[in-house]
């Protein structure tokens, strides 16, 4: 599938919907769930968990999109919200959701006041 992230490239990335990439997607989702759990612990553990998560999110995006060095540098310049948005979009697409499905899920999350990020 072709996925465009204008923040990283003018051309769309070719992303394979393979089992290998799906495993990576579930692993990163597990990391995010653990990060939320850690935020309820002491502040030092919470900061360590956040730092690990940011590193792993970046590594996940680099791996899935096969980013070049200049694109990796652009990724590092993004905000945490942009990093999360890109990760969530990749997760949803790799799990088989279409753009229409993603828009619907976002609209429903916005109605509930939760958002996807």
What are 43-62's pLDDT values in tens digits?
A: 777 788 888 889 999 999 99
Q: What is the pLDDT of residue 111?
A: 79
3-state class percentages of the chain: helix first, strand second, coil last, to nearest 5: 70, 5, 30
Confidence bin at 107 (pLDDT 50/70/90): confident
Per-residue pLDDT reduced to its tens digit, 28-46: 998 888 777 666 667 777 7
Nearest one of 52, 32, 53 to 117, comparing CA atoms: 32
- Prediction pTM value: 0.83
Q: What is the pLDDT of residue 40?
A: 65
């Amino acid at each position: 599938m072709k996925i465009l992230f204008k923040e990283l490239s003018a051309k769309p990335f070719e992303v394979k919907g393979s089992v290998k990439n799906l495993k990576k997607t579930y692993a990163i989702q597990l990391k995010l769930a653990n990060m939320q759990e850690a935020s309820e612990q002491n502040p030092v553990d919470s900061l360590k968990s956040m730092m690990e998560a940011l590193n792993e999110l970046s590594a996940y995006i680099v791996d899935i999109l096969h980013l070049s060095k200049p694109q990796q540098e652009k990724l590092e310049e993004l905000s945490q919200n942009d990093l999360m948005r890109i990760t969530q979009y990749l997760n949803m697409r790799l799990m088989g959701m279409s753009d229409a499905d993603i828009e619907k899920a976002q609209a429903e999350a916005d109605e509930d006041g939760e958002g996807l990020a």
